[in-house]
């Protein structure tokens, strides 16, 4: 039976989307990942591009409100937001808070923003490999 993992950040636009896509692509034999936001926005096109560079297509994802998952039991809730309030989700058996920088705060040229999103993607994927790859 696959363990259910819910990644949560504020807008469900980049960090949680990249984490969901990567966990499903890399460890989908053992985990089923989902993502949601406390104030959902729009899928970040830089996150879509960054994931495509490593062979993972998240272009069909959409931002979802955390409420979509009310009363759905999850094995693990992973809050990937920086600071602020983390969501209360009583249906998770376990919770982890792991901060990653918010790509929406990046500024500069297209290439500078893309380079920042790649760094965040690489931090997220390395953390997932370490955390879920050994299980």
What is the residue extent of each domain of the chain? 3-130
- Look up 93 and say whether it is catalytic: no
- Look up 106 and say whether it is catalytic: no
What pLDDT score does 83 carry? 65
Helix axes 110-132, 15-27, angle to 10 degrees: 50
Q: Which of 77, 78, 81, 124 is catalytic?
A: 81
Per residue in 106-121, pLDDT (tens digit) is: 999 999 999 999 999 9
Q: Which of 5, 9, 23, 50 is catalytic?
A: 9
| pLDDT range class, residue 135, cuts 50, 70, 90 | low
| pLDDT range class, residue 36, cuts 50, 70, 90 | very high
Q: Which CATH superfamily is domain 3-130 in?
A: Response regulator (3.40.50.2300)
Determine the number of helices (DSSP H) and then strands (DSSP E) in the chain: 3, 4
Distance CA 92, CA 120 (A): 25
- Look up 9 and say whether it is catalytic: yes
């Amino acid at each position: 039976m696959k363990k259910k993992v819910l990644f949560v950040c504020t807008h469900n636009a980049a960090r949680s989307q990249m984490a969901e896509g990567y966990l499903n692509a890399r460890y989908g034999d053992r985990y089923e990942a989902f993502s949601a936001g406390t104030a959902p926005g729009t899928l970040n096109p830089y996150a879509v591009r960054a994931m495509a560079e490593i062979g993972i297509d998240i272009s069909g994802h959409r931002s979802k409100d955390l409420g979509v998952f009310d009363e759905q039991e999850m094995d693990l809730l992973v809050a990937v937001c920086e600071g602020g309030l983390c969501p209360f989700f009583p249906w998770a058996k376990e919770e982890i808070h792991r901060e990653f920088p918010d790509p929406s705060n990046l500024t500069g040229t297209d290439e500078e923003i893309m380079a920042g999103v790649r760094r965040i993607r690489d931090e997220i994927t390395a953390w997932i490999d370490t955390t879920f790859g050994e299980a």
